[in-house]
Structure 1
Amino acid sequence: MKQIKIVVMLCFLATFNIACKQNDTDETNKTVKSEVKKDTNGFSYEIVNNDPTGLRLYTLENGLQVYLSQNTDEPKIQTYIAVRAGSNYDPSNSTGLAHYLEHMLFKGTDEIGTLDWEKEKEYIKQISDLYEAHRAETDEAKKLEIYQKIDEVSLEASNYSVANEYDKMVSGMGASGTNAHTWFEETVYKNKIPANELNKWLTLESDRFSKLVLRLFHTELEAVFEEFNRTQDDDGRKVYTALLDGLFPKHPYGQQQTIGVSDHLKNPSLVDINNYFNTYYVPNNMAMVLVGDLDFDKTIQEVNNTFGKLEKKEVTHLVLPTEEPITASKVREVFGPTSENIAIGYRSNGVNTEDEKFVTLANMVLSNGQAGLIDLDLNQKQLVQRAGSYTMFLNDYGLQQFYGSPKEGQSLDEVKDLIFAQIDKVKKGEFDEWLLEATINDLKLSQTKQYESSTALASAYFNAFIHHEKWSEKVQFLDELRAITKQELVDFANRFYQDNYVVVYKRKGEDSNVVKVENPGITPVNLNRDKSSDYLNHFQDIEAEALQPKFVDYKSAIKETALDNGVKVSFIENETNDLFNLNIIFDMGTDNDKKLGLAVGFLEYIGTDTMSAEDIKKEFYKLGVNYYVSAGSDVSYIGLSGLKENLPKGLELLENLLTHAKSDPEAYASYVDKILKGRQNGKTQKRNILWNGLVNYGQYGENSRLRNILKASELKSQDPQELVDIVKGIKDYKQRIFYYGKDLDQAVAALNKDHKLNSPLKDYPEATSYIEKDTGGNVYFVDYDMVQSEMVFLAKGKPFDAENLAAAGLFNAYFGSGLSSIVFQEIRESKSLAYSAFSNYDTANRKEESNYVKAYIGTQANKMEQAVDAMMTLMSDMPEAEEQFEAAKDAALKKISAQRITKASIFWSYENLKKLGIENDNREAMYNTIKNMEMSDLRDFFNNNIKGENYNIMVIGNKKDIDFKALSKLGEIKEMDVDYLFNYDTTADVKM
């Protein structure tokens, strides 16, 4: 339901650029062709030969495009409904409109979510008229009067509405991931549903998209304000916005943020929103994507029976401004509390152009995460704190963005110059020929991994639709990259990388552009959670064929063998592709040896007697194999993954590194500087402060893993050779191996050959224990320059008990998580006190640990007291709604019925269960327990585990905005120093 965060979207696009469309070439068209066929119902569909995804692309008579693909790993279907319209089409005086509309599509129709439409619609018409008057009025006092009238009429209207009926119905099917996002050219609606519920889902969705009702509008509008505030607290988003503004001075990419501007948010037009829906939400401007356990012929018939009834309308897309060439560099500055960094952007042409091909390849040569020029010359050599690049291609234009964070004492301009030096290497052709082929193989490897996931594949399909891309051209894209010569890429780089960039300096400091949003004082609306529409009642009577749960017999699903030296090897065959994953597991970690994490991190920057660290990275990249050595608190891994045929060579290379690693004092000094600078950067991140620093302190006090660190002076005094010896010595400890892949014999043979061990293997050192402290009566506060305030409520509960898992899961679904949960409805839907609010009963990860009650609120500081009161009321007296309980119960059972633990997840889920003292698939016991539960059982669980708990409350916000008098009612306020929370030595950590 929320607008997708820009950073998430950028990572997503960077991932899926591997499969973007390109122009035809005679050569590739000989091998990749589209073909039209007909199914048994007579529906025509398009397929692509040599398509690893098996797509069938249908187009209904009304223009709706339907992307279907099978994935039978689990009896679920990933669904997307994509609309080719986003914030680019917002009227210039109504920015944020497409995003409003996305939110309102969850509010129901003239049948869904209404108790009496004939009465309700009169109030909604009044509200619409009042908003038009409010928008036109210039006198602030009169605007306030109109808004108060809107609030009054909205309360009356809520007597005839039911909040979140849509979510009740989809969650009642067992759906997960119910959400939506809005972006420049798209609005996309998401659900992952059990396969047997497809026809019910299609019925509901076709009705949802046939009629828009702007119900409960003013409370949702306030939620959007809260979302707007969150963007103002996101420095990364500010950098991105400034970069787009410089690259696109005319186009909506740079001039219209999806969230909208404050003045437009304050003055919405329901008329404009309805017009937008009627113009763009039509079948010939939409696509449906279904990937999962489906029957092609039956599915398209059901889609046609439902969505085929939607009326086709002529759609005229806006003609958007054309940008002039950038002939000189542009500079922007952004201020905020987080650490400094720099962004450099180059504008390119968009999808379906030659630029997309060449920029994609150039970007991989520069930054592929392992052996690119920036990876090796800057990150590997620790010349900067961090640097990289990514690409983004949209319909009209694209961009390549470089980013960099400075080391301590390094200026942003120095980072910029280092990045430009790497770009110059591409322009001069100063990179190895093999890198081109290796990057394409790397893209192919990533694509293979991603296409295993129904969600990732479905995302690739909807992106193809939004960007008008033929799937045949996406399939052949990597072949087109492979045809590019080094000289062609060099020639392109010299044309593309000129003095035509935008640079954004992110500096620490106060942001003078922050917009303060007042609390409008909304009267809580009626939720009517104990009532339901006629539509919902009829909908629940529709029966789907029952889906039977399947549980895992771990003992038979996980095969076992042993190496010649007796080390146990657990094995699950990869039946999907030729990729492997090999893990050597040590049941010890930093709790056993505080230096272990430091040592394995140092391995990243050192080589051997015969190979440099850079050479090792190159060799792994050539093989299409990744390695890692990691240390958690209680378990450590030596891991290897990639192409099965290269497992023996990859293992040989890794074992050579582990055996012959060579200390490098100069690299270690840089490594320490990097750690210390990372600490300084980390303590400027509010999420890190809240969820790591404050929550750990609230749970453990001074004696926590977070605070038990090596101080700066200790880091600097370490002998690098001792750390290398720790890495080399890890193989001397007891261990076990998990292999997921094909050809177990090959893997065992490679391990017997190269994984040489000393005998006998050592027992693990004794682990440090951390004692959970009792909670209650404390308010821990950190001052932070932000618009919103955020708080976490934390209460230590009872010790872990497997018997409570079923009740805990059902309680969380009913009470604390999801759009139709009690907490979300009360705090956001009814009272508009927060954009994000949830509560959950956190069961322990280990049998010897305690469970915890947690709750979270992110809200404006001027709403904090009301929000806290609302949350604490709920945590003291659980509202009971029988219908909502039954819906949560059905949802829980259907989710278990549709869940399949497969592939490597079988092993890792078993690992987690064993930590809880459980040796079998406990979902079977949970299923049987939930099936027989009644509201009285949930009430008992609440009274025994939630009610009356004593909370520590962690708060982060701007000191000058916080109402400390209100906070003091919750406990003794203690303002915490961030360095103290993390146990940093400020003098030594800063001065290096």
Structure 2
Amino acid sequence: MRFFIVSPRPLAVFFCLLLWVAPLWAATLEDRVITHEFDNGLKLLMVPRPEIPTFTAYITLGVGSVHETSEYRGMAHMLEHMLFKGTQTIGTTDYAKEKPLLEQIEAVGSRLDALRQRRDADSEKIAALEKELAALQHQHQQFVVKDEFARIYAEHGGTGYNAFTSRDLTTYLVSLPANKLELWAAVESDRMKNPVLREFYTEREVVMEERFRTVETNPRGLLFENLFANAFTVHPYRNPILGWRSDIENLTLAQTRDFLQRYYGPVNTVIALVGDIDPPAAVAMIERYFGDIPPGSPVPPVFHVEPPQQGERRVQVLFDAEPQLAMAFHKPTLPEFDDYVFDLVNLILGQGRTSRLHRSLVLEQQLATAVQTFITPGSRYPNLFVIAATPRHPHTTAEVEAAIYAELERLAREPVSAAELERAVNRLRTDRLRFLRSNEGLARMLTFYQSVAGDWRYVLTYDDIVAEIDAQDVMETAARWLHSGNRTVVTLERGEQQP
């Protein structure tokens, strides 16, 4: 997750203003962000913006797929789904009557899961349990109120209600009219205090279908899943956010509940409120609704360290689709200096129609129909600089690959011109300022850096550090990381997959 996404159309006149605006913006932001930490570890970041009578609320939990073990990969994403299902008062017509039925469903589902894992499982017993579980789930539907969180927010003027899970964190977000802050606090504290993991077994099937649709039958999904799984050999960034199919099939309701109760608590949570809010009143209200929630357990750090790569890794994926190519280079993450440099390298090489790779491969040589670069799959731990391209028929992935290497060698050998470097710095700054104009963008940035960097103030010095990067820094960083011994290459070629 990177927030300095570059727009290809910055205004030239705006560039001249940025040298003055950005430092002023940083000073203003530092003064305007109001922080508060509650006794249970919950962190609150507030930025009053009274111009429009709305506010955006982000709840970010510093829990993502990187924190999973081999026993429950896919858990964080599964919980994102489950926490939309409601609470003891939301999403049910009668929880007192629903609860015994939920207990029966879990008992039968647990027996079925255990039986399926046995090599000598009796197929008739499996079929009988499947039939019993289906009957209980059908009976349970009388108590289920679908999408009630979304309905409540929509009826009170809410927009943008959503959630997402990444490798580093999980976030729930919504924008509401300014007079609905207490509604939000009541709903979200209830979700944290009293979640009910209803429809677990049917939702597990939904997640497996999601994996089938976005990865197993999707050429781009296959390409990147293979890229991450081979670029990383030890670190859990290698694992897909959804989990592997066998992981999803074997997630249990007991594991899910345990993971939720341990980590989805205030000690791992950051809330950002940006918009028309009264900070003292907001602090008092959040204390009233969230203050009595037990802290939970801090998410343990990931101790797995990816060893230095000792040579190129290559993988070929066969799939009935047009050829594609992706390559990854290991790189450090924040707050290392090279991470700042890579934000500029990313712009120079592969962002927009004026980038070097687009001009060379797409416009001049016409070897590719598309080429792009990005930094992935996370930011909490050392990550990857990725280049992806689609060859233009009849050109091959090998031709595109050779052309990419020529541009990488050029970057490491020849200084970037002062004009090109200045243009990249200005575009980076322009895009960030544009992103932070919205309440949503600022709330997302605050919770992201507070969770991943440990302090949202990381962003305050960002522009000053980037402005000091020179052509020599770019050359040295490219030479240090963008070489054959540090790369993983995956090609997707047309062919039939083996069963």
TM-score of the aligned structures, taking structure 1 as reference length: 0.46
Amino acid at match of 2:58: Y
SS at match of 2:124: helix
- What pairs up with 1:28-67 in 2 under 5 angstroms? 49-51=27-29, 54-67=32-45
Tell me how far 1:331 sits from its aligned partner: 0.8
Of 481, 485, 490, which residue of structure 2 is paired with 1:504? 490
What residue is the counterpart of 1:250 in the other structure?
234
Q: Deviations over 1:238-271 (max 9, x none)?
A: 11111111111122211x2121222333333110
Q: Does 1:159 pair with 2:142?
A: yes
On the 8 A contact 1:228/1:259 being kept in 2, the answer is yes
CA pair 509-73 structure 1, distance change in 2 beyond 3 A: farther
Residue 204 (structure 2) aligned to one of 221, 228, 238? 221
**Offset at residue 69 of structure 1 (A):** 1.9
> Per the alignment, do residues 509 and 453 of structure 1 end up closer, same or farther by CA in structure 2, a change over 3 Å counting?
farther
Alpha-carbon shift at residue 501 of structure 1 (Å)? 0.2
Give the 5 Å matches for 1:636-647.
none
Distance 2:39 2:398 in 1: 57
C-alpha deviations, 1:388-443, integer Å up to 9, x for none? Answer: 31223511121111122222221111111111111111111243122222211111
Q: Deviations over 1:735-762 (max 9, x none)?
A: xxxxxxxxxxxxxxxxxxxxxxxxxxxx
Distance 1:391 1:224 in 2: 26
Distance 2:220 2:69 in 1: 26
Aligned to 2:359: 376
1:441 and 1:290, CA in 2 relative to 1: closer, same or farther beyond 3 A?
Answer: same
1:382–1:462 CA distance, 2 compared to 1 (3 A) = farther
Shift of 1:493: 1.8
Given candidates 373, 382, 396, the residue that maps to 1:411 is 396
The offset of 1:293, in angstroms, is 2.2
Residues 472 and 183 of structure 1, relative CA distance in 2, 3 Å threshold:
closer
Note if contact 2:86-2:195 (Cα within 8 Å) is conserved in structure 1: yes
Q: How does 1:334-349 map to 2 (within 5 A)?
A: 334-349=317-332
Report whether the alignment pairs 1:292 with 2:242: no
3-state SS of 2:489 partner: strand
String of CA shifts for 1:575-623, please: whole Å, max 9, x gaps: xxxxxxxxxxxxxxxxxxxxxxxxxxxxxxxxxxxxxxxxxxxxxxxxx
**In 2: Cα distance, 1:92 partner to 1:369 partner:** 39
Does structure 2 conserve the Cα–Cα contact (< 8 Å) formed by 1:14 and 1:391?
no
Query: Which residue in the other structure is 2:99 paired with?
Result: 121
Distance (Å, rounded) in 1 between the aligned partners of 2:163 and 2:383: 23
Q: Where in structure 2 are the equivalents of 1:40-119 lying within 5 Å?
A: 49-51=27-29, 54-72=32-50, 74-119=52-97
Separation (CA, whole Å) in 2 of partners of 1:446 and 1:13: 9
CA RMSD of aligned residues (A): 2.5
Change (3 A) 1:228 1:375: closer
Aligned counterpart, 2:348: 365
Q: How does 1:395-794 map to 2 (within 5 A)?
A: 395-499=380-484, 500-512=486-498
Measured after TM superposition, the shift of residue 280 of structure 1 is 0.7
Q: Secondary structure at the match of 2:345?
A: helix
In 1, Cα distance between equivalents of 2:421 and 2:197 = 52
Partner of 1:15: 5
Q: Does 335-344 or 320-329 show the bigger shift?
A: 335-344
Between 174-183 and 198-207, report the one with greater CA deviation: 174-183
* CA distance in 2: counterparts of 1:491 and 1:162, whole angstroms: 58
Contact 1:16 1:460 in 2 (8 A): no
Q: Which has the higher contact order (CA 8 A, sep 6+)?
A: 2
Amino acid at match of 2:198: R
Aligned mates of 1:53, 1:403 — CA distance in 2: 41
Residues 345 and 416 of structure 1: is their aligned pair in 2 closer, same or farther, counting only changes over 3 Å?
A: same
- Residues 1:167 and 1:328: Cα distance change in structure 2 (over 3 Å): same
Q: Per-residue deviation at 1:13?
A: 4.9
Distance 1:16 1:132, change over 3 A: farther
SS of the residue corresponding to residue 317 of structure 1 reads: coil
Residue 109 to residue 274, structure 1, CA distance change in 2 (3 Å): same
Secondary structure of 2:326's partner?
strand
Aligned-partner Cα distance in 2 for 1:72–1:418: 51
Mapped to 2, the partners of 1:403 and 1:163 lie a distance apart of: 39
Is the alpha carbon distance of 1:58 and 1:149 closer, same or farther for their aligned partners in structure 2, counting shifts above 3 Å? same
Candidates 82, 98, 108, aligned match of 1:130: 108
Output the CA distance in 1 between the equivalents of 2:303 and 2:46: 32
Task: Establish whether residue 238 from structure 1 lines up as the match of residue 228 from structure 2.
Answer: no
CA distance in 2, matches of 1:320, 1:148: 43
Question: Aligned equivalents of 1:431 and 1:111: distance in 2?
Answer: 60
- 1:151 and 1:501, CA in 2 relative to 1: closer, same or farther beyond 3 A? same
Judged with a 3 Å threshold, the aligned counterparts in structure 2 of structure 1 residues 97 and 473 are, in CA distance, closer, same or farther, namely closer
Q: Distance in 1 between matches of 2:451 and 2:218?
A: 27
Give the 3 Å change call, closer, same or farther, for CA 93–472 of structure 1 in structure 2: closer
- Amino acid across the alignment from 2:359: L
Question: What letter is aligned with 2:439?
Answer: S
Do structure 1's residue 172 and structure 2's residue 155 form an aligned pair?
yes
Counterpart residue type for residue 96 of structure 2: E
Q: Distance in 1 between matches of 2:292 and 2:299?
A: 21
1:899-958 Cα offsets, whole Å, 9 max, x none, are: xxxxxxxxxxxxxxxxxxxxxxxxxxxxxxxxxxxxxxxxxxxxxxxxxxxxxxxxxxxx
- Could you tell me how far apart the structure 2 residues matched to 1:71 and 1:270 are? 42
Tell me the distance in 1 between the aligned counterparts of 2:6 and 2:174: 20
Q: 1:265/1:496 Cα in 2 relative to 1: closer, same or farther (>3 Å)?
A: closer
The aligned amino acid for 1:280 is Y
8 Å contact 2:263–2:297 — kept in the other structure?
A: no
In 2, Cα distance between equivalents of 1:324 and 1:266: 31
- 1:309 alignment partner, SS class: coil
Q: Deviations over 1:294-323 (max 9, x none)?
A: 222222222222122222133241534211
SS at match of 2:394: coil
Identity %: 25
Residue-by-residue CA offset, 1:458-499 (whole Å, 9 max, x unaligned)? 221222133134333212112101212222322222111222
- Distance (Å, rounded) in 1 between the aligned partners of 2:99 and 2:408: 60
Aligned with residue 311 of structure 1, among 291, 294, 302: 294
Matched residue count? 476
Mapped to 2, the partners of 1:90 and 1:132 lie a distance apart of: 21
Task: Note if contact 1:57-1:66 (Cα within 8 Å) is conserved in structure 2.
Answer: yes
How far residue 275 of structure 1 moved from its aligned partner, in angstroms, is 0.3
Once the two structures are TM-superposed, the CA of residue 53 in structure 1 deviates from its matched residue by 9.0
Unaligned runs of at least 5 residues, structure 2 = 8-21
**Aligned pair partner of 1:268 in 251, 267, 272:** 251
Q: Do the aligned partners of residues 442 and 13 (structure 1) sit closer, same or farther apart at CA in structure 2, a change above 3 Å counting?
A: closer
Q: What does residue 10 of structure 2 align with?
A: none
Give the Cα–Cα distance (whole angstroms) in 1 for the partners of residues 498 and 301 of structure 2: 34
CA contact (8 A) 1:84 1:187 kept: yes
Partner SS, residue 51 of structure 1: helix
Q: In the aligned structure 1, how far is the partner of 2:313 from the partner of 2:267?
A: 40
How high is the TM-score relative to the length of structure 2?
A: 0.88
The aligned counterpart of 2:13 is none
**What whole-Å deviation, never above 9, does each CA across 1:627-682 have from its counterpart, x for those lacking one?**
xxxxxxxxxxxxxxxxxxxxxxxxxxxxxxxxxxxxxxxxxxxxxxxxxxxxxxxx
Deviation at residue 277 of structure 1 after TM alignment = 0.5
